[in-house]
């Protein structure tokens, strides 16, 4: 049995800082992981601040489970990447439109050539 030292969320400005609480665990947890603990009649998410292979006598309750945030983090990263790609595709589509117009319109060709020549 190991001990997980955890912090509760303290608010927007403090985050997961402050007093560490000791919980028993047999789960594979690492510093920085999020976990669920039972507090009175509800459950709270905590951040693992430190792990010990030794059982701390203050640890009287168990960690309920590890919170797997990987799917969430992937969705957020994928969304951000899609936004970047969409912006780039829109820019390329706009530029391609000007190139097509320049094939038949001499004034558009001149403006496009000037645009390309500027740094």
The secondary structure of the chain, three-state, reads: CEEEEEEECCCCCCCCCCCCEEEEECCCCCCCCEEEEEECCEEEEEEEEEEECCCCCCCCCEEEEEECCHHHHHHHHHHHHHHHHHHHHHHHHHHHHHHHHHCCCHHHHHHHHHHHHCC
**47 and 32 share a domain?**
yes
Residue 63 sits in the same domain as residue 76 = no
Same-domain status, 14 and 37: yes
40 and 97 in a single domain? The answer is: no
Please state, rounded to an integer, the average pLDDT across all residues of the chain: 94
Q: In this structure, are 9 and 64 located in the same domain? A: yes
Per-residue pLDDT for 24 more than 80?
yes
Same domain, 62 and 18: yes
Work out the percent of the chain whose per-residue pLDDT is above 70.
100
Same domain, 94 and 110: yes
Label residue 106 by pLDDT band (50, 70, 90).
very high
Contacts of 67 (CB under 8 A, 6+ apart): 33, 34, 35, 36, 45
- Least confident span in 41-45, 65-69, 93-97, 101-105: 93-97
Give mean pLDDT, residues 10-28. Answer: 87
Instruction: Specify whether 6 is located in the same domain as 56.
Output: yes
Q: Are 47 and 75 found together in one domain?
A: no
Residues 62 and 77 in one domain: no
C-alpha to C-alpha distance for 3 and 55, rounded to whole angstroms? 5
Which residues, at least 6 apart from 22, have a Cβ–Cβ distance to it below 8 Å? 3, 4, 5, 56, 58, 59
Same domain, 87 and 59: no
Same domain, 50 and 78: no
Range of the domain at 79: 71-117
Domains in the chain: how many in total? 2
Name the band, by pLDDT with cuts 50, 70 and 90, for residue 95: confident
């Amino acid at each position: 049995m190991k001990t997980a030292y955890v912090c509760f969320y303290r608010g927007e400005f403090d985050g997961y800082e402050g007093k560490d609480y000791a919980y028993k665990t047999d789960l594979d947890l690492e510093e920085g992981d999020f976990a669920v603990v039972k507090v009175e009649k509800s459950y709270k998410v905590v951040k693992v601040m430190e792990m010990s292979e030794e059982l701390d006598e203050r640890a009287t309750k168990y960690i309920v489970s590890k919170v797997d945030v990987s799917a969430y983090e992937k969705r957020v990263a994928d969304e951000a990447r899609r936004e970047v790609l969409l912006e780039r595709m829109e820019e390329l589509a706009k530029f391609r439109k000007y190139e097509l117009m320049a094939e038949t319109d001499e004034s558009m060709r001149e403006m496009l050539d000037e645009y390309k020549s500027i740094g």
